[in-house]
Structures are given as structure tokens and as C-alpha cells.
Amino acid sequence: MALLESAPGLAVEIIATDISEEVLRRGRSGRFSQIEINRGLPAAMLVRHFAREGTGWELSERMRSTVTFSQHNLLDQPPEGGAFDIIFLRNTLIYFDLQTRREVLCRVRSVLRSGGFLLLGATESTFGIEDAWERVQIGGGSVYRISTADAA
Amino acid sequence: MSMPGAIDAGQVAIIATEVFAAMIDREAGFLTTWSGGPLTVADPLYAWVDLSTVPASRLQLSTDAGTADEVTRAFLTMGRVEPVAEADVADALGEIANVLAGNVKALLPEHVEMTLPKVSWQSPSRDGARLNEVLLEWRGRPIVVSLGTI
Amino acid sequence: MADVLSGLGFDTSQAGNGREALDLLDAGHAFDLACIDWNMPVMDGLEFVVAVRARREWRDLTLIMVTTEGEHGQVVRALAAGAHEYVMKPFTPDALASKLALLGLLPFEESP
């Protein structure tokens, strides 16, 4: 939403993956409960891109059409569609042990274009997992880029 | 049954569990459907909101005094032995009825107005009212949410 | 509501309707934020928003609707009248906190 509002002519493709078919199904439906909608979504964006659906809200067809949902296990080879400009991997690494986090981040790095960004959850960091990344100061967020000092 | 707009008991129960989870317990799982036998609440306190459906309908919450106090304590994050004033109970139960009604209203196809909530020891519903009762259990205590035409 | 806000670090005053709230503002107390229900007697939430936005001296007051009214058209009307944000009941404290963070009234803290 933020992308298309600030650059309306931009061709945006988003690939969303999860290991769970149930999560994918919910994602494809574009439906959100009232509790979910209340959380952190500006009301102005709500009225522009959502319509009421029962006790919840449904994302507009235009927005939904920019996102493809597919099943993917982070422990497998990266999904099709790379190289990506931005990868969101938020509050997911926390579920893995250190070695697995290293493997996942390494695969992520292989499909992120140089100069692209990795976004982790607010309390997460690549520190201690891989030093191939450098932190980028953007607001208070956890934004990372492949370190230009890394030649590997 | 006489739910406005064919809203069923299951939907009312779901709304109630979400309201309690968000506003009262701040955690899901404390409000469930009543698991005991037939239920009659002794000396109930009623909190209700009327809806401008055609014909008019009412969303009503009723429970016993002890449960009303406990719900109020939880809602207002009061201490376990803090005395609960009548005005606090009226505020708390009235607000719960208000939010329940608001969410039921969201399921109706037409625009509907709601009254402000009222709370009383006297049942507001005369003969002729056909309220469908949804029996719920909160921490082992009975709570009845009723919806129907009046 | 007052509970949730004081839990987030705010001092609060309460008004039973829009008219009483305007009186509080007129009395000269400096408020940062008004959380407003829609359905109130005497003067409802929308009327209150319109009244506040008509007064230049209150233009820094942040206005958030916190209400059961959640029709798409109503959110549009509230925002058009000058409300800054809209929270639908039931809401969780962290939902309100995230809206307040969006408005710069609280620092950002995420929950997954």
C-alpha cells in the first residue's frame, strides 16, 4: 500500500510465502479481523484499500493482485522470482536455532539483489548470525543490506 | 429463531469471546459456551442496547451480581478485593453491551442506529419480546447474551 | 479507556459527552489527545470533532475515534471531519499504542 501510494505508476510484485497452507489460504483471502485491522494500519489507508466484510475487512482486489502466495519452506532452496529488491523476514528467525538461522540468512542473501534490503522484526538483528550484513539507519527499524565489504 | 437479519447464536458467541478477550481478560480463552446444565441466573443484572432494526431488536447481557462485580474488576483492572461501586458496574456492563451490539450491528446489511446502553436489575423485556439466549461461561460463571426482536 | 491510557503513561480526564469535553477544553487545560466515542448524548463524537477542528487554538489536539461504529462510510466521515485516527471496539491496548505511535504520541514498539 505504501509503495503504490507513493509511486502509483510503479509495477510491484510481491511474493509471500509460508510453510502452512492454512496461513496461505488466509493470506489469499485478503480478509482481516477487526483486531488485526486495528493494529498499526493508518485509518486513511484502511478506507482507501479495504471494504467491510462481516465483522472484518477485506483488502481491495487491486492490492491483492500485487501479491502471489506460495508455499515455501525456509529450509529449502529459495523461492522462484528472485532476485528481490526487498525481503521481509520478520519475527521468523526467532523460531530457529543459530545454525539454521545462518543457513536461512545465507539463502536469503543469495536471492537479494545487491543494494537490496532485508527487513527483520524490530527486536531482531543479523549480529551474531552472519557478518555479511550491514545495518541501515532508517527510522527505528531493523533494516539490513549486504555489506559492500563482503566479497564472498 | 428471532435474531435480526438471521444472525445466529454462533456468531454472537464468537463476538462475545473476542470482546472479552480484547477488553476484559486481555487474553483469549476465558469466555466459552456454557458447559453446565440448564441455566437460570438468580437475581440477574441486565445491560442492554436497542437497535433500530425493523422490527426493533435488543442485545442484552445478563448475569448475577457476583459475576457482574468480577467482570467489572477485570475490565477496570481493579484489585481482587477492591470494592466495586454500582456506577463502575453500570459503566462496565453498559460498555460491554455497547461493544457487543456494535459488532452485531456490523453484521447487518442495513444501516442501524443503536441506543446508549442501559443497566438495570429489572428486565427491560416485556411479553412479546423474543430474545434468543446464548449461554456463556466466564471463569466458571454464567453470562447470558440475548439477541432478538422486542 | 482511561485505564489503558494511564497504562501507557498518560494523565487523563473524562467527559460524558462532546459538550462536556468542549467545556474541559474551554477551561484552558492543555490536552495532547482526545479519544472520542461516536455515540454520546447531547453532542456526539462527530459533532465534537467538527467543533474542535473549527477552533484554531486547538489545532494541535490529536483526535482519535474509539468507537463501535465501524462502517466504511463512517470512518471516511470521521477522517473527513478531521479525526486523525480511528480505532474500532473491541480493541486491545497494543492496538491503541500502535496508533498512538503512528501519530508520534508514543515511541514505536512492535509486537510480532
Residue of B nearest to A35 (CA): B22
Asked whether residue C110 carries a pLDDT value surpassing 80, the answer given is no
Q: Say whether both A94 and A140 belong to one domain.
A: yes
Query: Is B12's pLDDT higher than 90?
Result: yes
List chains adjacent to chain C, taking adjacency as at least 3 C-beta pairs closer than 8 Å: A, B
- Residue B106 sits at the chain A interface (C-beta within 8 Å): yes
**Interacting residues of B141 by C-beta distance below 8 A, sequence separation 6+:** B63, B64, B66, B67, B70
What averages of pLDDT result for each successive group of 10 residues across chain A (152 residues)? 77 88 91 84 92 88 91 88 89 91 92 92 86 84 80 51
Number of separate domains in chain A? 2
Confidence check: pLDDT of C109 > 70: no
Shared-domain flag, residues A21 and A88: no
Q: Out of A38, A44, A91, whose CB is closest to C95?
A: A38
Please give the distance of CA A70 from its chain centroid, rounded to a whole number: 13
Q: What is the phi/psi pair of residue C88, to 5°?
A: -100, 140
Identify whether residues A42 and A82 lie together within a single domain: no
Residues A79 and A146 in one domain: yes
Q: Are residues A138 and A81 in the same domain?
A: yes
User: Are B116 and C41 an interchain contact pair (Cβ–Cβ within 8 Å)?
Assistant: yes
Q: Does C111 have pLDDT greater than 60?
A: no
**B35 to A12, A69, A118, B30, B42: CA distances (angstroms):** 51, 40, 49, 13, 18
Q: Which residues of B touch C90 (CB under 8 A)?
A: 18-19, 21-23, 99, 103
* Over residues C65-86, mean pLDDT: 94
Residues A90 and A62 in one domain: no
pLDDT tens, position by position, B25-45: 988 899 999 988 888 888 999
Pure H helices in C1-112: 2-7, 18-26, 45-53, 72-81, 93-102
Q: What is the pLDDT of residue B2?
A: 46
Task: Judge if A139 and A85 occupy the same domain.
Answer: yes
Helix H or strand E encompassing A14: strand A14-18
- Which chain A residues are closer than 8 Å to B106 by Cβ? 52, 54-55
The confidence score (pLDDT) of residue A105 equals: 93
Q: Model pTM?
A: 0.81
Q: What pLDDT does C112 receive?
A: 41
Name chain B contacts of C68, Cβ cutoff 8 Å: 98-99, 101-103, 105, 114
CATH H-level, domain C2-8+16-93: superfamily: Response regulator (3.40.50.2300)
Angle between helix C45-53 and C72-81 (nearest 10): 30
| pLDDT, tens digit, 9 for 90 and up, residues B94-121 | 999 999 999 999 888 888 999 999 999 9
DSSP B114: B
Q: What does residue A104 show for φ and ψ, rounded to 5 degrees?
A: -65, -45
Residue ending a domain, among A67, A90, A107, is A67
Which residues form the domain of A95?
Answer: 74-151
Where in B52-125 does DSSP place strands (E)? 57-63, 118-120
Higher pLDDT, A11 or C31: C31
Pair A49, A12 in one domain:
yes
DSSP helix, strand, coil percent of chain C (3-state; round to 5):
40, 10, 45
Main-chain dihedrals φ then ψ at residue B50, nearest 5 degrees: -100, 145
- Sequence ranges of the domains in chain C: 2-8+16-93
Residues of B in contact with A51 (CB under 8 A): none
Asked whether the beta carbons of residue A35 and residue B103 sit closer than 8 angstroms, the reply is no
